[in-house]
Structure 1
Amino acid sequence: MGENSMELPSAAKDRLSELPDHVRELVMRQLAGQAGSAAEELSITPAPRDGALPLSAGQKGLWFLAELNPGSVEYNAPRVLRLTGELHIEALRAALDIADGGAQRLVPLDHAVEGHGFQVVHEPGRVPVEIIDLSGLPEPERAAELEHCLEREGATPFDLRRGPLFRVTLVSLAADEHVLVLGLHHIVGDGWSIGILVDELCTRYTAQVRG
């Protein structure tokens, strides 16, 4: 579908015209309901990790779509990990804090740069972990509540202007059974980079437990 076949607000047209040709085409296809998944068609390229940095071409497309459709959850990219055996909560918290040092977030610099998002890499810090204890519920209710928790994560939008773009929920099903839900927006991680994050988290957790 060509750009002239779709009516957009003038502000949206101005932003669209500033995108690279291949990103603009993808955005127009997305708006027309013809684009494939973001994981297949949008790439997030590595960037230097000092100071405020411009978005990559793929990130610009995602930023534009988020601005056009605030509150959308289409590009939520959650990961669900089932944990069995004894869980060391403090070791998990420490591993999350370290792993989060590699996650990027957007900062609200849009007012200073006419609506354009920038990205920064923040220093490792304490990652908030929401802990939900379902261990006291009967099995049918426990399963239903777990499903509700997963649905809630997928249905909760991210604010790209304010962040954070990485959130964690730990659901306790029993003393030796937990579910760890990692919520991210696709603008800070694709399938490949999220896989690296999970691997790093597992490695850091093991190291923390062993001391």
Structure 2
Amino acid sequence: MDPERLDAELARIAASETRRRFDLAQGPLVRASLLRLGEEDHVLLLTIHQLVADRRSVRLFTDEVLTGYANLLGGAGRPPPSPPSRRRWPPPSAPG
């Protein structure tokens, strides 16, 4: 799949996930999906309710995950640059 179509499909999947409501009584309030793009290419999609983590906490968590991943790959402990968020913060409306 060409990069533009791939980006569009990932954006569609992410948008679909953000429209799924959270059940505050039953949970979970964090959802994770691992999307396989190829044999060695994957995207981790995390959807986190704002009651669980604020913007700063999500950024710190993302940095920790990327640093750990870089270390697993034998990097110097410096994470690759974070991809841009596809969602505005705070969201225009925060249902559920």
The 1-side partners of 2:62 and 2:18 are apart by 18
Deviation readout 1:91-143 (Å, 9 max, x if unpaired): xxxxxxxxxxxxxxxxxxxxxxxxxxxxxxxxxxxxxxxxxxxxxxx437644
Larger RCO (CA under 8 A, 6+ residues apart): 1
Distance 1:141 1:199 in 2: 27
What is the count of residue pairs matched by the alignment?
A: 73
Where do 5+ consecutive residues of structure 2 fail to align?
75-96
Counterpart amino acid of residue 198 in structure 1? T
Shift of 1:200: 1.6
Q: 1:181 aligns with which of 45, 51, 55?
A: 45
Displacement of 1:203 in angstroms is 2.7
Task: State the structure with more CA Rg.
Answer: 1
User: 1:185, CA displacement in angstroms?
Assistant: 0.3
**1:153 Cα deviation after fit:** 1.2
186-195 or 169-178, which moves further after superposition? 169-178
Give, in whole Å, the separation in 2 of the partners of 1:201 and 1:142: 23
Query: Once superposed, what is the RMSD of the aligned Cα atoms?
Result: 2.5
List per-residue Cα deviations over 1:59-117 (Å, max 9, x = no partner): xxxxxxxxxxxxxxxxxxxxxxxxxxxxxxxxxxxxxxxxxxxxxxxxxxxxxxxxxxx
Residue segments in structure 1 that go unaligned for 5+ positions in a row: 1-137
CA distance in 1: counterparts of 2:63 and 2:5, whole angstroms: 31
Distance across 1 between alignment mates of 2:71 and 2:44: 18
TM-score (norm 2): 0.58
Letter in 1 for 2:61: L
Higher relative helix content = 1
Tell me how far 1:167 sits from its aligned partner: 1.3
* Counterparts in 2 of 1:142 and 1:203: CA distance versus 1, 3 Å: closer
Instruction: Give the Cα–Cα distance (whole angstroms) in 2 for the partners of residues 207 and 148 of structure 1.
Output: 31
Q: Name the residue aligned to 1:161.
A: 25
Amino acid at match of 1:161: A
> Identity over the aligned pairs, expressed in percent?
34
